Amino acid sequence: MTSENLKVLIVEDDVLTAQVIKETIEPAGFKVVAIARQSDEALALLINNKPDLVLLDINLDNSNLDGIALAQLINKIQPLPIIFLTGNDSPEVFKRAKLTVPFSYLVKPIQPRMLITQIELAAQYFYTNVNSDQTVINQDFFLPVKQGELKKINIAEVTYLEASGSYVIIHSVDGSEDIYAMNLKYLSQHFSFPNFYKLSRTFLINLKYLEKLDASELWMKSSTKSLSIPRERKNDLLNQIRIVRTQNAKK
């Protein structure tokens, strides 16, 4: 990954400081995708903007979580390189921060060149290692349910995902349905082909649990609801499944 396509989320409660950081790193080629002032906002922006790196202030005023507790949540949701930015250089704070295994810990006032260097090193180290290990595809992960609570998503048990306005409904093989405030386009990146197939803008299905289909609809395991098959997707869908035809079937 190069600096030209590295997406950065800034979490900083001071508006002026956040703007200075943005104006410091963008000329170096980094893209600031969002700025958050408190933990709840940061988690929402993390899910919707999918940053590659987080610049995280430790002392967040008017926030449910401080930067260190927020880093712990980020590590559970989507491990990313985190660079702490703090005006508190006490050993106690550093000891807490160290437990989250951040890439770097910078004490304010921060030197622009030092910040840019640390971002470049984080991108090179973290993404070189991630890209060399393709086993991360289709691994289980966690999604935030409510403040301070995460729920594990067992990918192998997901039958299909359904977009519903600003939400996504995850349907599982046990018949359960869980609703999350995010868009399907973002979440679908964590459900990879060949098992998962994009049926339409509304549905992403797990072909493993496809039970039956006809000319216009299909049915998934543990669900009585039929899903419409877009006419333009029918032939492509048939190419994704194994069909054994009888000897007298018309060709």
Q: With beta carbons less than 8 A apart as the criterion, state whether 249 and 237 touch.
A: no
Q: For the structural domain made of 3-135, what CATH number should be given?
A: 3.40.50.2300
Task: Decide which of 59 and 195 is more confident.
Answer: 59
- Residue that the structure tokens 């992960």 belong to: 141
Looking at 71-85, 108-122, 139-153, 186-200, which range is the least confident one? 139-153
Predicted model pTM = 0.55
Backbone phi, psi, residue 3, to 5°: -65, -25
Rounded to whole angstroms, the Cα distance separating 14 from 241 reads 54
Between CA 185 and CA 193, with CA 190 as vertex, the angle to 5 degrees is 90
> In which residue are the tokens 């868009």 written?
183
Angle of CA points 214, 215, 220, to nearest 5°: 40
Domain ranges of the chain: 3-135, 141-240
First to last CA, the chain: 49
Instruction: Check residue 132 and give its pLDDT.
Output: 44
Q: Read off the pLDDT band of 141 (50, 70, 90).
A: confident
The top-level CATH class assigned to 141-240 is mainly beta
Percent of the chain residues past pLDDT 90, beyond the cut: 56
State which amino acid sits at residue 163.
A
